[in-house]
Amino acid sequence: MTILVADDYAPVRESLVGLVESIGEEVLQAEDGDEALQIIELGGVDVLLLDLYMPRCDGMTVLERLDPARPPAVIVVSAFEYISRERLQARFGDRIAAILNKPLDPKDLMREVTTALSARRSRER
């Protein structure tokens, strides 16, 4: 399984990558939404950890552009300064597997990643 971490702030992105690598899955990184979409278009991304506030192409745009026929499970990992969790959920509904606030509790992140991976594996069977 492959997990993509999309966050423009390198220390946060690298921290998330380190946490997710600890469970032995392949982890890719993107500095912004444009890069994330390019990686996703190549295929093989199972779970996307997505920050909402990034330059060039933000997380909201990424959510809008995901291919509904083969989207990754999306875990939004963000500070909710400009949009509420409720509005985000209402707008994107089932495109989002989970929503986590920054700063993160690593246990919450790992629980959601594990859940998303399990769901993906179940669908592939």
Q: Tell me, what CATH number does 89's domain have?
A: 3.40.50.2300
Q: Domain range holding 10?
A: 2-124
Domain count, the chain: 1
Exposure letters 77-86 (e unless 16+ CB within 10 A, then b): bbebeeeeee
* Per-residue model confidence as pLDDT tens for the chain (125 residues): 999 999 999 999 999 999 999 999 999 999 999 999 999 999 889 999 999 999 889 999 999 999 888 889 999 998 877 778 888 889 998 889 999 998 889 999 999 999 999 998 888 77
As a residue count, the chain comes to: 125
Q: How far is CA 32 from the centre of its chain?
A: 12
Going 35 to 37 to 39 to 42, the CA torsion angle's sign is: negative
